[in-house]
Amino acid sequence: MARKPPQSRASREHPPVHPRRPSAEQAAGLEIYDTTLRDGAQAEDVSFSADDKVLIAQKLDDLGVHFIEGGWPGANPKDIEFFRMIKTIPLKHAEVIAFGSTRKASNTAGKDPNLRGLLAAETKTITLFGKTWSLHVTDALGISLTKNLELIADSIAYLHDKGRRVFYDAEHFFDGYKTNPEYALSTIRKAAEAGAERVILCDTNGGTMPWEIREICQVVQRECRVPLGIHAHNDCEMAVANSLVAIDTGILQVQGTINGIGERCGNANLCSIIPNLELKMKRRVLSDRLSHLKDVSGYVTEIANLMPNKHQPYVGDAAFAHKGGVHIHAVLKNSATYEHIDPARVGNRQRMLISDYGGRSGLLDKIEAYGIKLTKDHTKVDELIHALKDRESQGYQFEGAEGSFELLMRKVMGSHKPSFQLLGFRVIAEKKQDDGTPLSEATVMVKVGEAVEHTAAVGAGPVNALDHALRKALEKFYPQLQEVKLLDYKVRVLAANKGTESRVRVLIESGDHKDKWGTVGVSENIIEATWQALADSIEYKLLAAD
């Protein structure tokens, strides 16, 4: 049985009550506080420039979040530049907030550089964090518990007297409460007395369980006279659950990041919290902009230069993708059989994956999506199923390569007319010295109609050289290929039991100014597999242009 958190004197005198359901007015007043630009930027492999942060802030404003935490202006020049730039950008829905810490013990509030930096950012609201856990006060700051209360009160009162609205982040609150409940509560009482308009309870280490969150939030709501917020980290995979449980007890503000990016295991994921609030808990927070969610998720992923998590709930590409034949057959009759919401509500879409698990129904649906009508017992369906299973037995995968699938389908149907014919290619990789840069050169000979084109090109590696040579050969016949860019390139060893002779699968994602598509190649020779995927990519582009 789980150990319950320690109780304060107040909680012993007033036992926990059942969670109260907020009224419609309270529900409408829920605040979405995004900290992607500050807490999210602390994630490994993430680095936002000031320009990046401005672009993301505008996207978050379009989504309709209420507050955008822009960064810590006292900590680095990049955040100072962001606050300077964002002043010139009109926002429709969101308020930008500066973030920083309480004053240092050795400074007065008026002479503390951090507090001065926060004022210089010129935001209407400032979020200030302070120590709540006695362990941090004594071991990290090296001051007395009484002195820490003084820092909290002085800092908030100073900013409040300067005309700023103050939100107080009670750092490590839940760990602090479980260790010393009376002291943890005294810190947030001090914050409220000094003028904080929100007190945010932070599960900074991400180690608190939902049942602990519920009980502690109920206690704090009786002890604190200002509205509360929740800021959860995801170290136990509980950040979303903890945030929703806190809201269910009556918490007003929820903090998180887009896609859950953040330090260590990340923050509470707003891409899950927001649709759960709106669609599951029936609490509207975005004023009919929920359908923008997937777009914002992808935008932040792109700006952060991260790989998309296709399995992310609600906004991932696989969130409403179906592969099993039984699933596809049922979904085609009624999408509710295997989809908990209409994907369009969050800006996503239903997908039927092409594989040998998909069955005849899924394949027919996919064929029809390309404008081809066939009956279930048509001989071409059997031919396509046989071709698909044969390719997959060789290691081809069409789930991320629908461009190659459409070409395969049209070849089986007899409707595909190749745009060019390969007569041959050669790739040379040469390195002359240990510390020298390798040289890669590719030669390609193709036939377009009756014309033969023979070209050569160099590149940053053999794949890049081959790509350049092929484009060089074809662009004089098909100038639209100049629009195509190679967006992603992946190599997977299919069976490593043959060592360097093993078969590999190459997946390529290409795109132009309005679309993107995937293609695949398989061979024991990585260059041959790459050629297959590159050739399919170009064929697909030319097919779409017809």
Q: Mind listing the pLDDT tens digit for each residue in 442-451?
A: 999 999 999 9
Confidence of residue 431 (pLDDT cuts 50, 70, 90): confident
Q: Is the pLDDT of residue 20 over 50?
A: no
Identify which of 316, 379, 384 has the alpha carbon closest to the alpha carbon of residue 354: 384
What is the pTM for the complete model shown? Answer: 0.71
Q: Read off the pLDDT band of 534 (50, 70, 90).
A: very high
Residue 39 has which token pair? 């807490």
> What is the amino acid identity at position 247?
I
pLDDT tens-digit readout, 224-236 = 999 999 999 999 9
Is the pLDDT confidence value at 417 over 80? Answer: yes
- In DSSP terms, 98 is beta-bridged to 71, 126
Nearest of 334, 343, 397, 407 to residue 370 by alpha carbon: 407
CA distance 347 to 467: 34
319-342 residue pLDDT tens:
998 877 788 778 878 889 999 999
Are residues 403 and 540 in contact, defined by beta-carbon separation less than 8 angstroms? yes
- State the pLDDT at residue 23: 39
Q: Within a 10 A sphere around the Cβ of 337, how many other Cβ atoms?
A: 13
Q: What is the 3-state secondary structure (H, E, C) of 177-244?
A: HHHCHHHHHHHHHHHHHHCCCEEEEEECCCCCCHHHHHHHHHHHHHHCCCCEEEEEECCCCCHHHHHH
CA 82 remoteness from chain centre: 22
CATH 3.20.20.70 is right for the domain spanning 28-303: yes
**463 residue type, one letter:** V
Task: Average the pLDDT over each of 9-18, 119-128, 208-217, 461-470 and give the range with the smallest value.
Answer: 9-18
Report the relative pairing of strands 485-493 and 504-511 from DSSP bridges. antiparallel
- pLDDT in the model for residue 332: 77
241 near 214, Cβ under 8 Å? Answer: no
Give me the residue spans of the domains in the chain.
28-303, 327-394, 420-477
Query: Is a pLDDT exceeding 50 seen at residue 180?
Result: yes
Region 205-234: mean pLDDT is 97
More confident position, 117 or 409: 117
How many of the other CB atoms lie within 10 Å of CB of 207? 14
Look at the chain and count its residues: 546
pLDDT (average), residues 145-163? 97
| Ramachandran quadrant class, 242 (left: phi over 0; alpha: psi -120 to 50; beta: rest) | alpha
Lowest mean pLDDT segment, chosen from 7-21, 46-60, 157-171, 489-503: 7-21
Largest CA distance in the chain: 92
Question: What are 348-390's pLDDT values in tens digits?
Answer: 988 777 654 555 666 776 677 666 777 777 788 878 878 887 8
Residue 546: per-residue pLDDT = 63
Rg over CA atoms, the chain: 29
Q: Report the CATH number of the 420-477 domain.
A: 3.30.160
Tell me the percentage of the chain whose pLDDT exceeds 90: 67
Residue 88, Cβ density class (10 Å: 0-12 exposed, 13-18 middle, ≥19 buried): exposed
Sign of CA dihedral 413, 415, 419, 424: positive
